[in-house]
Amino acid sequence: MFTRVHVEEYCNGGEAALIVAREMLEQWKEIYDARMAENSLDTDRQYSVVSDPDSADKVARHVVLSPLETLAIPVLGPNHLLPSPAGSECEGSVRASSTIAPSRVEQALSEVASSLTSSQPRPGPQQVWDLQIRIWLLVADLYLKLGQTNQAISCVQEAATIAPASHHVLYFKGLVHVYKNEFEEAKVHFNDALALNPHHIKSMQHLGLVHHYLGSHRLAEKMLRDAIQLEPLVHQSWYNLGKVLEFLGENEAAADCFMTAVDIEATAPVLPFTAVPLCFE
């Protein structure tokens, strides 16, 4: 469904993608509530059997498993959860417009958000909540691309209540400030994200742009070259570096960067292939 969101956005626009994101939140809640109820019932049964001495050893072997330890929710790798960087500076593809009513999508997402918030304190392994963080940040990214900053802020806040120190959450806080042209605040969040994960490419990309907007062009160049050195096949990094070099008057080098960005984007998938979880491991 993560992949489907990006395909819907690419083909039919952000509003269509938001509908799929709503379905993801609904499914998360349904699966989580069902598993919680199932584990609660199992726990009650186990405690009722403990009174039988012959069953004590059997029960002991089962209660060592934490609730939801075997929850069947697919989880993507830690480096593959976030969507492509938002913002006109990084966009090179044409997006189709959508005729879906925005108010309908927002109302549905709001209803799901309210029900999810009520289930926040429930227990469970961290990977289950990590998955919900991914969904909230995916929705935030869609809202930012649609220019609906307030809705994006609400989604980032939902993710921050689960993991306020996540570098992904800090990155999106910075991204919101970029969209609001609050570059000093954005720089703080991107630096905080990189302090937690020095190899987070998207934070490096946008920190480079922020340095550029604030007038530190050589620092921006260095940050973007560092990002390219880590991940040379990310076309946004090459495009952003080209913009910086063009501003500095290094037109030939900028043209090379733009051409490299175009060549890489021509063969780039909607999502990295490694973002698609394997069915059999």
Task: Look at residue 232 and give its three-state secondary structure.
Answer: coil
- Inside any domain, residue 258: yes
- Do 196 and 258 lie in a common domain? yes
- Do 156 and 217 lie in a common domain? no
More confident residue, 20 or 84: 20
- Inside any domain, residue 74: no
Token pair listed for 237: 């990094």
Helix, strand, coil tally for the chain in percent (to 5): 70, 0, 30
Q: What is the mean pLDDT of residues 155-170?
A: 93
116: amino acid identity, one letter? L
Condensed to tens digits (0 to 9), the pLDDT of residues 170-220 reads 999 999 999 999 999 999 999 999 999 999 999 999 999 999 999 999 999
Residue 93: its pLDDT value, please? Answer: 41
Residue 52: its pLDDT value, please? Answer: 52
Among residues of the chain, what percentage have pLDDT more than 90? Answer: 52
* Mean pLDDT of the chain, nearest integer: 76
- Do 24 and 149 lie in a common domain? yes
Residue 82: its pLDDT value, please? Answer: 32
- Do 13 and 58 lie in a common domain? yes
Please tell me the pTM assigned to this model. 0.69
- Do 179 and 63 lie in a common domain? no
- Do 159 and 115 lie in a common domain? yes
- Inside any domain, residue 104: yes
183: amino acid identity, one letter? F
Task: Give the CATH number for residue 213.
Answer: 1.25.40.10
- Inside any domain, residue 48: yes
Asked if 223 and 208 touch (Cβ cutoff 8 Å), the reply is yes
- Euclidean distance between CA atoms 4 and 179, whole angstroms: 25
- Do 187 and 280 lie in a common domain? yes
- Inside any domain, residue 77: no
Residue 27 has pLDDT above 60, yes or no: yes
- Do 170 and 281 lie in a common domain? yes
**Confidence category of residue 60, pLDDT binned at 50, 70, 90:** very low
More confident residue, 156 or 124: 156
Largest alpha-carbon pair distance within the chain? 83
- Do 156 and 175 lie in a common domain? no
Q: Which residue has tokens 């076309």?
A: 235
Rounded to whole angstroms, what are the CA distances from 255 to 139, 174, 210, 239, 252?
A: 34, 29, 21, 10, 5
Q: Which of 109, 133, 163 is the last residue of a domain?
A: 163
- Do 157 and 172 lie in a common domain? no
- Euclidean distance between CA atoms 203 and 198, whole angstroms: 9
Contacts 24+ apart (CB under 8 A), 78-82: 80/271, 80/272, 80/274, 80/275, 81/2, 81/130, 81/133, 81/134, 81/137, 81/168, 81/275, 82/134, 82/137, 82/138, 82/141, 82/168, 82/171, 82/202
Residue 47: its pLDDT value, please? Answer: 53
- Inside any domain, residue 198: yes
- Inside any domain, residue 83: no
Residue 104: its pLDDT value, please? Answer: 47
- Do 211 and 111 lie in a common domain? no
- Do 121 and 179 lie in a common domain? no
Condensed to tens digits (0 to 9), the pLDDT of residues 73-131 reads 333 333 333 333 344 344 444 334 344 444 545 554 554 454 454 444 446 667 778 88
- Euclidean distance between CA atoms 137 and 202, whole angstroms: 14
Q: What is the mean pLDDT of residues 273-277?
A: 67
**Confidence category of residue 65, pLDDT binned at 50, 70, 90:** very low
Residue 252: its pLDDT value, please? Answer: 96
* Cα 179–Cα 181–Cα 187 angle in degrees, nearest 5: 90
Q: Which residue has tokens 């199992």?
A: 42
> How many distinct structural domains can be found in the chain?
2
Token pair listed for 55: 């069953």
Q: Classify the phi-psi angles of 277: left when phi > 0, otherwise alpha if psi is within -120 to 50, otherwise beta.
A: beta
User: Inter-axis angle of helices 201-213 and 217-230, to 10 degrees?
Assistant: 160
| Domain containing residue 126 | 1-68+100-163
Return all residues near 98 (Cβ < 8 A) that are at least 6 apart.
12, 13, 14, 15, 16
Residue 79: its pLDDT value, please? Answer: 33
Q: Which of 111, 140, 163 is the last residue of a domain?
A: 163
- Inside any domain, residue 84: no
